[in-house]
């Protein structure tokens, strides 16, 4: 029987609950990370930034590198395809921004990223992956900052890369590897393959973090027990449900908790989220950023179409307060929503978009790949 871990060690960094918030573009900004951290212990990772954007001083990238005043462990996900840029970016994060953990993205399935050999496409080039990881670990070492990586099973079922990626991660000194149990072709469709996560656990000695289809705290425990993973990475399951981190912290410490907030309690969480966004971005932009979260928060609750429409146009905290007053505080949590997918799902891609001749060579060392400075999609 698998022992459920109570904490997670990434090099010298200790995480009190073995739970990591997955980087999500446009979601995991400083305000959202603060909101989640108020619920329970874990490692809360920033939105993905590009190594080239950071090194070249891109303004969009600079604005994304914002941390909350109470954020004691600064964790950043970095995207890149060039070992030199990656090394420079890691050094900047460690030396200038006080970052305590760097995660490298090799899981993004978006065509505009894979078309250039980045994200989930890159691990096909085993030699290049090794070069990038080696340069990142070396750049972080003087600061005692652990480097981790996130990846997928492979390009598709015929081109799997995760076992080689795990071996290379271990050989290059990476502190842990997170595996999303889907291929690039699957994107966010279908079911995550937890057996692949278990296979990677058996294949390497470094910690493996499991990612995919964790909708409730009970799912996290099932994944760890099924795979032997050292912890879990939670993405879409926490959309509109920051209290999931409260449940996860309790579950990993032996408590059986499933928070079922009333609509009144959800309203309070919505207000807090909008307030934090306003503090970080200013009220007008913060309220506009909050709009995308409305549907997730109200999923399954009774709320009229006109009210939802008005909430989706909110532009101030005062207007938000007035609209939230129109919701029924006593409405119970819609338990039918428990365990169901949240956020994007979509369909599998017909094919993975790759650079010409990408599959012809599995080494790739010396490849001159160049990412866009403002590429900010997660994986």
Instruction: Please provide the size of the chain in residues.
Output: 379
Cα distance between residue 50 and residue 241, in whole Å: 28
pLDDT, tens only, 136-194: 999 999 999 999 999 999 999 999 999 999 999 999 999 999 999 999 999 999 999 99
pLDDT, tens only, 182-227: 999 999 999 999 999 999 999 999 999 999 999 999 999 999 999 9
Per-residue pLDDT at 92: 98
pTM of the model: 0.95
Distance of CA 288 to the CA centre of its chain: 22
Number of CB atoms found within 10 A of residue 344's CB: 12
Mean residue pLDDT of the chain comes to 95
- Residues 13-18, mean pLDDT to the nearest whole number: 97
Tell me the CA distances in angstroms from 261 to 20, 199, 235, 241, 264, one per residue in order.
23, 37, 20, 10, 8
Which one of 36, 108, 238, 287 is the catalytic residue?
Answer: 108
Beta strand 154-156 pairing with 13-15 = unpaired
Cα distance between residue 211 and residue 310, in whole Å: 35
Per-residue pLDDT at 377: 52
pLDDT of 44 above 70: yes
Number of CB atoms found within 10 A of residue 2's CB: 13
Nearest to 240 by CA among 223, 209, 205, 215: 215
Q: How confident is the model at residue 368 (pLDDT cuts 50, 70, 90)?
A: low
Cα distance between residue 194 and residue 115, in whole Å: 27
Q: How confident is the model at residue 375 (pLDDT cuts 50, 70, 90)?
A: low
pLDDT, tens only, 269-292: 999 999 999 999 999 999 999 999
In the chain, what percentage of residues exceed pLDDT 70?
A: 98
Q: How confident is the model at residue 3 (pLDDT cuts 50, 70, 90)?
A: confident
Helix H or strand E encompassing 47: strand 43-50
Cα distance between residue 194 and residue 196, in whole Å: 5
Active site residue 94: no
Per-residue pLDDT at 343: 86
């Amino acid at each position: 029987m698998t022992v459920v871990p109570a904490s997670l060690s990434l090099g010298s960094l200790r995480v009190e609950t073995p739970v990591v918030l997955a980087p999500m573009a446009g979601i995991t900004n400083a305000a959202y990370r603060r909101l989640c951290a108020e619920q329970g212990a874990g490692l809360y990772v920033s939105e993905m930034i590009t190594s080239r954007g950071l090194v070249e001083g891109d303004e969009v990238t600079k604005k994304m590198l914002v941390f909350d005043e109470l954020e004691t462990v600064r964790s950043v996900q970095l995207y890149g395809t060039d070992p030199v840029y990656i090394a420079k970016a890691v050094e900047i994060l460690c030396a200038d921004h006080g970052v305590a953990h760097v995660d490298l993205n090799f899981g993004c399935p978006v065509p505009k990223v894979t078309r250039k050999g980045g994200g989930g496409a890159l691990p096909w080039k085993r030699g290049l992956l090794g070069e990038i990881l080696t340069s990142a670990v070396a750049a972080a070492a003087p600061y005692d900052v652990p480097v981790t990586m996130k990846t997928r099973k492979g390009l598709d079922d015929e081109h799997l890369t995760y076992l080689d990626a795990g071996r290379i991660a271990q050989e290059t000194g990476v502190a842990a590897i997170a595996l999303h149990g889907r291929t690039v072709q699957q994107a966010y469709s279908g079911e995550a393959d937890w057996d692949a996560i278990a296979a990677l656990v058996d294949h390497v000695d470094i910690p493996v973090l499991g990612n995919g289809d964790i909708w409730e705290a009970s799912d996290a425990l099932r994944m760890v027990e099924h795979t032997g993973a050292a912890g879990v990475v939670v993405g879409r399951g926490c959309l509109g449900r920051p209290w999931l981190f409260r449940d996860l912290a309790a579950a990993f410490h032996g408590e059986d908790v499933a928070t079922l907030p009333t609509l009144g309690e959800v309203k309070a969480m919505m207000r807090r989220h909008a307030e934090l966004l306003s503090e970080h971005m200013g009220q007008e932009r913060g309220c506009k950023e909050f709009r995308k979260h409305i549907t997730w928060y109200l999923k399954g609750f009774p709320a009229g179409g006109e009210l939802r429409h008005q909430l989706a146009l909110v532009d101030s905290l005062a207007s938000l307060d007035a609209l939230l007053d129109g919701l029924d505080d006593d409405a119970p949590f819609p338990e039918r929503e428990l365990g169901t997918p949240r956020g994007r799902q979509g369909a599998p891609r017909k094919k993975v978009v790759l650079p010409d001749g990408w599959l012809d060579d599995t080494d790739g060392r010396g490849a001159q790949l160049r990412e866009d400075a403002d590429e900010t999609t997660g994986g």
